[in-house]
């Protein structure tokens, strides 16, 4: 086989008259009589190669029979393209290679879809043949960005004195929120390892061991209900630091985020990032991961609705509103669609009023007196052509449903600029939230998050009013990182377990190793974990997280390419001491 001397993205006018060897895939074919033009492609770019009777020493009929995605090696001479044939879109656009020798390394079967057009096939088909979809320019560029992001991360954290330390993939099953993926042990029959949901306990042990700055780009696994931007296995940039407070961790995380966006997107993010409390975010934006690229703030309207004749809102704990200045033309069909968009969040309906001729009209406007209408329009600066939406319910329902409406209007009206990035921190989250189904408190972050020092006295008497030392990094409506200062005192950790309904016996069974370690000089420590896949997704400018993962799963956790998960043989099950029960 001829050995390539250059890639398909290397050659320029400086290489004219040089003899070269290129290898790659046939990207396109153009026949012009006895001259055949082919774009040869590899991951570095494309080069136009030419077969003609003057240069080619083989049979031109062989070249004419080449198909898209055949794998070739060619030897030839670099020539200038004609002046009118220059392609300014390609680095190699000034030259072409006139082929003397051809080796066909592999002929392709008919393709299941057109490689140059991702939209030519449904996503399930593309995932089945993922190795073909990965040949597209788009996905190749995304995975190159992913590589660059990982290298920038390692370089940046190395300059900040972090050590990259690997933690086990086979670990003890511990209750951390989602279900574990379990791995049966052949040697210890009836016992199981778990795949890590995160390296949480290990990184805390590394701090106790004296490694004061740890990081890892690590695979994590969670067996949970999936969404479009969630995968059963995902990658984190995991950080932990000793002798720090929240601001120290946030400064490192901000520095890394700024470095990534500056080097990859050429975007300068603010310094420092703005900070919102959890309550501010929920009250103003209806979500703890607000998109700050547009305003549309939520408005407290109960003081107005309580003075109206609209009795449906009288018993509501909270009435939230939102004004869209260009909604006067919204038809009933559009409003019905918006109503449907808030119902999954618990809202029973969506009230509305439009502004026309200096008056509130339509919807529930008839329940508002002329004086109350004028006060409302003056206080909210309502103009003709505006529409006011209202939701009354329990505070959390009113906030989250109206927050969802805010996002839906932004999507419908194209209010977001994909090249704008607005980060913020969300802090001061509740330590616990009440789960009415299980009738117990659950951790908002995880069981190892430290409560605020000033709230420690409330732990015994009023845990619902305890705030944590957690912090989330949000960018354009996505949570890209989350972390906290950890508990480093065993008596506080035991209190938290108690409120989470974890008995002393269960705590010892699941976390005994960590509880014991806390007795041996655990330093104050904290950290953060970036969702690397989601971060890369934003760096690439795509909204599909599967685009930035080489071999992703579907939203039902299936790998269509290799048909995983799959059945295993009875012999394998017997070796593991497992009997399947099918229903």
Number of H helices, E strands in the chain: 16, 22
Please, which pLDDT band fits residue 175 given cuts at 50, 70 and 90?
Answer: low
33: left (phi over 0), alpha (psi -120 to 50) or beta: left
Please, which pLDDT band fits residue 502 given cuts at 50, 70 and 90?
Answer: confident
**Is pLDDT above 80 for 228?**
no
Phi first, then psi, for residue 460 (nearest 5°) are -80, -30
Strand-pair partners of 46: 41
Tell me, what DSSP letter sits at residue 477? T
Confidence at residue 316, expressed as pLDDT on a 0 to 100 scale: 94
Helix pair 137-159, 246-265: axis angle to 10 deg: 140
Please, which pLDDT band fits residue 440 given cuts at 50, 70 and 90?
Answer: confident
Q: Which residue would you say has higher pLDDT here, 433 or 528?
A: 528
Nearest CA to 197 out of 217, 216, 169, 165 is that of: 169
Strand-pair partners of 106: 71
| Average pLDDT for 71-82 | 96
Phi first, then psi, for residue 429 (nearest 5°) are -80, 155
**Is pLDDT above 90 for 220?**
yes
- Chain centroid, CA 575 distance in Å: 39
Q: Are strands 233-242 and 525-531 parallel, antiparallel or unpaired?
A: antiparallel
**Is pLDDT above 90 for 224?**
no
Q: How far apart are CA 388 and CA 355, in angstroms?
A: 8
Q: How far apart are CA 63 and CA 57, in angstroms?
A: 11
Q: Are 200 and 446 within 8 A, CB to CB?
A: yes
Residues contacting residue 557 through CB under 8 Å, at least 6 positions apart: 226, 232, 565
Strand-pair partners of 527: 240, 484
Residue range 369-383, pLDDT digits in tens: 999 999 999 999 999
Measure Cα distances from 15 to 4, 37, 48, 79 in Å. Answer: 15, 19, 14, 8
Q: How far apart are CA 62 and CA 69, in angstroms?
A: 15
> For 27-115, where are the alpha helices, taking DSSP H only?
60-64
pTM for this predicted structure: 0.92
Q: How far apart are CA 17 and CA 278, in angstroms?
A: 65
| Average pLDDT for 142-159 | 98
Q: Are 474 and 484 within 8 A, CB to CB?
A: no
Average pLDDT of the chain to the nearest whole number = 94
**Is pLDDT above 70 for 319?**
yes
Confidence at residue 510, expressed as pLDDT on a 0 to 100 scale: 86
Please, which pLDDT band fits residue 559 given cuts at 50, 70 and 90?
Answer: very high
Nearest CA to 471 out of 480, 482, 461, 459 is that of: 482
Lowest mean pLDDT among 187-196, 334-343, 452-461: 452-461
**Is pLDDT above 80 for 21?**
yes
Angle at 199 between CA 196 and CA 203, to 5 degrees: 155
Percent of the chain topping pLDDT 90: 83
177: left (phi over 0), alpha (psi -120 to 50) or beta: left
| Average pLDDT for 132-137 | 95
**Is pLDDT above 80 for 576?**
yes
| Average pLDDT for 181-185 | 94
Phi first, then psi, for residue 32 (nearest 5°) are -130, 80
Strand-pair partners of 427: 277, 471
Neighbouring C-beta atoms of residue 110, cutoff 10 Å: 7
Tell me, what DSSP letter sits at residue 421? -
**Is pLDDT above 90 for 501?**
no
Confidence at residue 436, expressed as pLDDT on a 0 to 100 scale: 76
Residue range 339-398, pLDDT digits in tens: 999 999 999 999 999 999 999 999 999 999 999 999 999 999 999 999 999 999 999 999
Buried b (16+ CB within 10 A) or exposed e, 554-571: eeebebbbeeeeeeeeee
Nearest CA to 204 out of 521, 516, 514 is that of: 514
Handedness of CA 171, 177, 178, 179 (dihedral sign): positive
At 566, is the secondary structure helix, strand, or coil? coil
Strand-pair partners of 51: 36
Q: How far apart are CA 432 and CA 379, in angstroms?
A: 36
At 390, is the secondary structure helix, strand, or coil? strand
Q: Are 139 and 547 within 8 A, CB to CB?
A: yes
Nearest CA to 324 out of 314, 334, 312 is that of: 334
Phi first, then psi, for residue 385 (nearest 5°) are 95, -5
**Is pLDDT above 80 for 226?**
no
Q: Are 389 and 352 within 8 A, CB to CB?
A: yes
**Is pLDDT above 80 for 468?**
yes
Q: How far apart are CA 108 and CA 70, in angstroms?
A: 5
Confidence at residue 496, expressed as pLDDT on a 0 to 100 scale: 87
């Amino acid at each position: 086989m001829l050995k390539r001397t250059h890639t398909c993205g290397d050659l320029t006018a400086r290489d004219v008259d040089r003899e070269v060897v290129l290898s790659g895939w046939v990207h396109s074919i153009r026949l012009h009589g006895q001259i055949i033009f082919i774009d040869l492609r590899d991951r570095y770019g494309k080069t136009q190669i030419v077969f003609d009777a003057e240069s080619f020493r083989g049979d031109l009929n062989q070249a004419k029979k080449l198909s898209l995605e055949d794998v070739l090696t060619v030897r030839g001479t670099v020539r200038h393209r004609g002046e009118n044939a220059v392609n300014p879109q390609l680095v190699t656009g000034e030259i072409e290679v006139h082929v003397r020798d051809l080796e066909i390394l592999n002929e392709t079967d008919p393709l299941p879809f057109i490689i140059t057009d991702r939209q030519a096939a449904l996503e399930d088909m593309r995932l089945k043949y993922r190795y073909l979809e990965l040949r597209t320019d788009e996905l190749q560029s995304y995975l190159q960005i992913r590589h660059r992001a990982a290298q920038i991360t390692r370089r940046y954290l190395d300059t900040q004195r972090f050590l990259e330390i690997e933690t086990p993939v086979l670990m003890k099953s511990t209750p951390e929120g989602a279900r574990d993926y379990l791995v049966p042990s052949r040697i210890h029959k009836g016992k199981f390892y778990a795949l890590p949901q995160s390296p949480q306990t290990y990184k805390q042990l590394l701090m106790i061991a004296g490694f004061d700055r740890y990081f890892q780009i690590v695979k994590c696994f969670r067996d949970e209900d999936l969404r479009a931007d969630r995968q059963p296995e995902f990658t984190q940039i995991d950080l932990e630091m000793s002798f720090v407070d929240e601001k120290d961790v946030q400064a490192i995380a901000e520095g890394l985020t700024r470095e990534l966006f500056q080097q990859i997107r050429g975007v300068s993010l603010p310094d420092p990032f703005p900070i919102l409390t959890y309550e501010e975010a929920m009250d103003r934006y209806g979500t703890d991961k607000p998109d700050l690229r547009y305003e549309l703030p939520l408005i407290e309207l109960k003081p107005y609705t309580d003075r109206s004749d609209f009795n449906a809102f009288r018993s509501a704990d909270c009435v939230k509103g939102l004004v869209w200045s260009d909604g006067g033309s919204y038809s009933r069909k559009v409003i019905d669609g918006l109503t449907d968009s808030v119902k999954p969040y618990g809202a029973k309906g969506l009230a509305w009023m439009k502004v026309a001729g200096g008056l509130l009209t339509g919807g529930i406007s008839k329940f508002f007196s002329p004086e109350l209408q004028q006060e409302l329009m003056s206080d909210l600066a309502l103009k003709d052509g505006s529409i006011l939406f209202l939701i009354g319910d329990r505070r959390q329902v009113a906030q989250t449903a109206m927050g969802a409406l805010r996002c839906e209007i932004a999507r419908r009206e194209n209010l977001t600029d994909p090249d704008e990035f607005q980060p913020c921190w969300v802090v001061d989250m509740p330590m616990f939230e009440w789960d009415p189904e299980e009738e117990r408190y659950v951790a908002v972050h995880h069981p190892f998050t430290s409560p605020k020092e000033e709230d420690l006295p409330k732990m015994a008497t009023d845990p619902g009013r305890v705030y944590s030392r957690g912090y989330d990094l949000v960018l354009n409506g996505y949570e890209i990182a989350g972390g906290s200062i950890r508990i480093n005192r065993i008596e506080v950790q035991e209190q938290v377990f108690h409120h989470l309904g974890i008995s002393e016996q269960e705590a010892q069974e699941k976390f005994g190793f960590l509880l014991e370690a806390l007795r041996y000089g655990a330093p104050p420590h904290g950290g953060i974990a970036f969702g690397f896949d989601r971060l890369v997704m934003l760096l690439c400018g795509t909204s599909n997280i599967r685009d930035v993962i080489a071999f992703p799963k579907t939203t039902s956790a299936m790998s269509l390419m290799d048909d995983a998960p799959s059945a295993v043989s009875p012999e394998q099950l017997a070796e593991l001491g497992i009997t399947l029960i099918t229903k």
